[in-house]
Amino acid sequence: MSILINYIEKCAEYIDSKDRSKAEELVKEVIGVFEEEITHIKSQLTLYGWGSSSVDYFKDLAVLKAILINYKANLKREDDIRKDELEMLKLKQSILNINNTNNNDSSSTATASSSVTVTVTQAIDSINNLPDDTLSNEDKEALEEKIAALEILVRSGDKEKTSKKLGSILKYVVDKGIEVGIALLPYLGEISKMIQAN
């Protein structure tokens, strides 16, 4: 996002500078950087024959600035949606589910049983607590998305798809190293138990 903000600021700065060669250079640079991500980024630029027989790099910079601002807003909206979906998953599951059952009978024998369930929230917290040299921010986000997708499959009740997704996540975790495995194995083990129980 900081690269995007930097280009928006550069567009504004170069429009104000009135330096045609800098404006031309920046127009081409912005197109080169964002052409793959933003479809039709060139469609309204005079450089590509839009609305004028001559090229106006300052007008093109103004158009690119508006496109980048819109793109930034779209990225933020998508990020907010993803955060909201993750928050919904967290709300649907308790942070820690501990069931204690004490059964006392007349012969004064007591039995106690307890079970601890590792939740998706705890799994994601474990991922986020890993140091950056163990797992990059991009890898953390990718793993969070995989865990969220697994959780959705678990809730759907589709045992076969859940099992396949669990297998692909296990392969991914193995590729990322022992620390990542230690962080996620309790959660993945719980999912495995749920699949086997059904």
Q: List per-residue pLDDT tens for the chain, 198 residues long.
A: 788 899 899 999 999 998 999 999 999 999 999 988 888 888 888 888 766 678 888 999 999 999 999 988 888 888 888 877 776 666 555 443 433 334 444 444 443 333 345 677 788 888 888 888 888 888 888 888 888 888 888 888 888 888 888 888 888 888 888 888 888 888 888 888 888 876
Q: What is the value of pTM for the model shown?
A: 0.46
**pLDDT score of 52:** 67
**pLDDT score of 88:** 66
**pLDDT score of 101:** 39
- What SS3 string covers the chain? CHHHHHHHHHHHHHHHHCCHHHHHHHHHHHHHHHCCCCCCCCCCCHHHCCCCCCCCHHHHHHHHHHHHHHHHHHHHHHHHHHHHHHHHHHHHCCCCEEEEEEEECCCCCEEEEEEEECCHHHHHHHHHCCCCCCCCHHHHHHHHHHHHHHHHHHHHCCHHHHHHHHHHHHHHHHHHCHHHHHHHHHHHHHHHHHHHHC
Any idea where the domains of the chain sit in the sequence?
2-89, 117-197
